[in-house]
Chains A and B, each alone.
Chain A
Amino acid sequence: MAAVAVPGGRRRRLRYATERRGVLAALLISPAVLFIGLLVGAPLVLAVYLSFTDATAGSLTGPWIGFENFRHELRDPIFVDAIWHTFLFTAISQAVVIVCAGLLAHALVHAFPGRWILRFFILLPWAAPIALTAIGFLWFYDTQASIFTWFLVKLHLVSATNHPTWLGTPTAAMSSIITVQAWRTIPFATVIFLAGIASIPQEVDDAAAIDGATGLRKFWHVSLPLQLPIALVAILFGIVFTATDMVVPYILTAGGPFNSTQVLTTWAFQTGINSGNVGEGAAIALFMLPLLAFVTIAMLFFARRAEVT
Chain B
Amino acid sequence: MTVALRRRMFQYGVVVPFAIVLAFPFAWMAVTSLKPEGQVYEQSKTWTFSPTLENYGYLLHHTGYMRWIRNSCLVGLAVVLITLAIALPAGYALARLAGRVGRSLGVGIFLTYLVPPTLLFLPLSRVVSELHLGDRLWSLILVYPSFTVPFAIWLLMGFFKSIPQELEDAALIDGCSRLGALVRIVFPISAPGILTVVIFTFSLVVNEFVYAITFITSSANRTLTVGVPTDLIRGDLYNWPGIMAAILIPSIPMALVYNAFLNRFITGFTGGAFR
Contacts and interface: CB of A to CB of B under 8 A. Distances in A.
Interface of A: 15, 18-19, 21-22, 24-25, 27-29, 31-33, 35-36, 39-40, 43-44, 46-47, 50, 55, 58-60, 100, 103-104, 106-108, 110, 112, 115-116, 118-140, 144-145, 147, 150, 183, 186-187, 191-192, 194-196, 198-199, 214, 229-230, 233, 240-241, 244-247, 251, 264-265, 268-269, 272-273, 278, 281-282, 285-286, 288-289, 292, 295-296, 299-300, 302-303, 306-307
A104 B92 CA distance: 34
Interface of B: 3, 7-8, 10-16, 18-23, 25-26, 28-29, 32, 40-41, 43, 46, 86-87, 89-90, 92-94, 97-98, 102, 105, 107, 109, 111-112, 114-116, 118-127, 129-130, 142-143, 145-146, 149-150, 153, 177-179, 203, 206-207, 209-210, 214, 224-226, 228-229, 238, 240, 243-244, 246-247, 250-251, 254-259, 262, 265-266, 269-270, 273-275
Q: 5 tightest A-B contacts by CB?
A: A128-B251, A244-B116, A32-B90, A28-B89, A25-B97
A137 B28 CA distance: 10
A106 B10 CA distance: 9
B255 A120 contact: yes
B41 A144 contact: yes
Dominant secondary structure at the A interface: helix
Contacts of A195: 266, 269-270
B111 A137 contact: no
A264 B121 CA distance: 14
B267 to A, nearest CB: 8
Given A131-B229, A145-B41, A198-B266, A246 B118 contact: yes
Contacts of B142: 39
Nearest to B12: A112
A120 B109 CA distance: 31
A211 to B, nearest CB: 16
Contacts, number: 295
A130 B207 contact: yes
B274 A265 contact: no
Contact of B251 (A32, A124, A251, A289): A124
A293 B46 CA distance: 49
A119 B262 contact: yes
B229 A251 contact: yes
Given A39-B142, A44-B120, 16 more contacts: A24-B179, A25-B94, A44-B115, A50-B122, A60-B126, A107-B13, A107-B15, A112-B12, A129-B206, A129-B224, A145-B40, A245-B118, A246-B118, A273-B122, A285-B122, A289-B119
